[in-house]
Amino acid sequence: MKNYLKRQQKLFTEAQQQRLEELNIMIAGTGGLGTNQALQLQRIGVNKIYLYDYDQVEVSNLNRQLCYGKNDIGRTKVEAAADFLEQFDLETEIVVSTEKITLATEVPADIDIIFDGMDNFESRFILDQLAAENEIAFIHAGIEEFFAQIMLVLPESELRLKDVFAGSEKKELPAVFSPAVTVTASIQVLEALKYLLAFDDYLENQLLHIDLLSNQMELIDLK
C-alpha cells in the first residue's frame, strides 16, 4: 500500500485496497467533472489516469475546473492538468492525450472504466458507444444548476446511455458552478469504486438523481 493511504485502510479489505491501487482510469474530458475526478482518483491512489481532452483552457473554465488558473489560459487542458496533478508527487501515473474522442478512437488496452467528463450529450453518446464496442464499463454524470444525474453502464449492459437520454441534446450552454460540479464528480468516483471494488451494492439499471437544492438523492429504476 502507498504510505500516504493509511487513513483509508479501514474502508477496504486488503484485496480491495490492492485492486484500488491497480486501477487504470480513462477520463474523457478534463473540464469541471474531469478535473474533479482526476483530483479524487489521484488522492485515493489509483495506478494510472488517462486524461483525454483536445481543448485549451479558457477564462470561462475557471469557475469550476480545479486544475487550472489564469496562468493556464491558452494552454492545452490535459497538459495543464497533468502539471497540476504531478506537483503533488503522489505516484499515480498521468498519461495525456489531445485526441478528440470519436468512434475511431483506440482506447488504452489496460483501462478498467471510462469516466464521463463531457459537457454535452452528443459527445456522451459517442463515448458510451465506444465503451460498448470495447466492452468497458462507463460511468456517466451530467450536472446543471443544482441538479445532476449519474448512471453506471456495465460492459455487458444492453441498456445504454442513449436508451435513457435520447432527445437530451440541446443548444443552450448549461449553467454550472464549482460546488455542485465537485459534489457530482465525487459521487461519480464513489459509485465507480463500489462497482470496481465489488461492493455488494452499486448502481445497476438505475439512475441516481441528485437534487442539491432540496438535499435529495433518489434512484430511478430503468427496468
Partner 1 sequence: MALEVKFYSLFRINLKTKGIEYQQESEITITELIEKLDQDFEGYFTQKLLKEDGTIARGTIILVNGKNIFHLNKLETKVSDGDIVTLFPPSAGG
CB 186, min distance to partner 1, A:
14
Nine-digit cell string for 55: 481543448
Nearest CA to 117 out of 151, 92, 141 is that of: 141
If one asks whether residue 179 binds partner 1 (CB under 8 A), the answer comes out as no
Q: Is residue 57 within 8 Å of 146, Cβ to Cβ? A: no
Give the span between the Cα atoms of 117 and 119, in whole angstroms: 7
Q: Which of 53, 116, 128, 191 binds partner 1 (CB under 8 A)?
A: 116
**Applying CB under 8 A, which part among 47-55, 90-98, 126-134, 204-212 lies near partner 1?**
204-212
Give the span between the Cα atoms of 211 and 53, in whole angstroms: 28
CB 114, min distance to partner 1, A:
14
**Helical segments of 148-177, H only:** 161-165
If one asks whether residue 127 binds partner 1 (CB under 8 A), the answer comes out as no
- CB atoms near residue 49 (< 10 Å): 26
If one asks whether residue 60 binds partner 1 (CB under 8 A), the answer comes out as no
CB 163, min distance to partner 1, A:
6
- CB atoms near residue 57 (< 10 Å): 25
Give the span between the Cα atoms of 61 and 15, in whole angstroms: 38
- CB proximity list for 3: less than 8 A, separation 6 or greater: none
Nearest CA to 36 out of 142, 178, 216 is that of: 178
Q: Which of 72, 119, 128, 191 binds partner 1 (CB under 8 A)?
A: 119
CB 29, min distance to partner 1, A:
6
Radius of gyration of the chain (CA): 17
Q: Which of 34, 68, 114, 132 binds partner 1 (CB under 8 A)?
A: 34
Q: Which of 11, 15, 59, 166 binds partner 1 (CB under 8 A)?
A: 166
If one asks whether residue 68 binds partner 1 (CB under 8 A), the answer comes out as no
If one asks whether residue 58 binds partner 1 (CB under 8 A), the answer comes out as no
CB 175, min distance to partner 1, A:
7
**Applying CB under 8 A, which part among 9-17, 53-61, 78-86, 160-168 lies near partner 1?**
160-168
Give the span between the Cα atoms of 100 and 97, in whole angstroms: 9
Where along the sequence are the contacts to partner 1 (CB under 8 A)?
29, 31-34, 116-121, 141-145, 147-149, 163-170, 172-176, 181, 205, 209, 211, 213-214, 218, 220-223
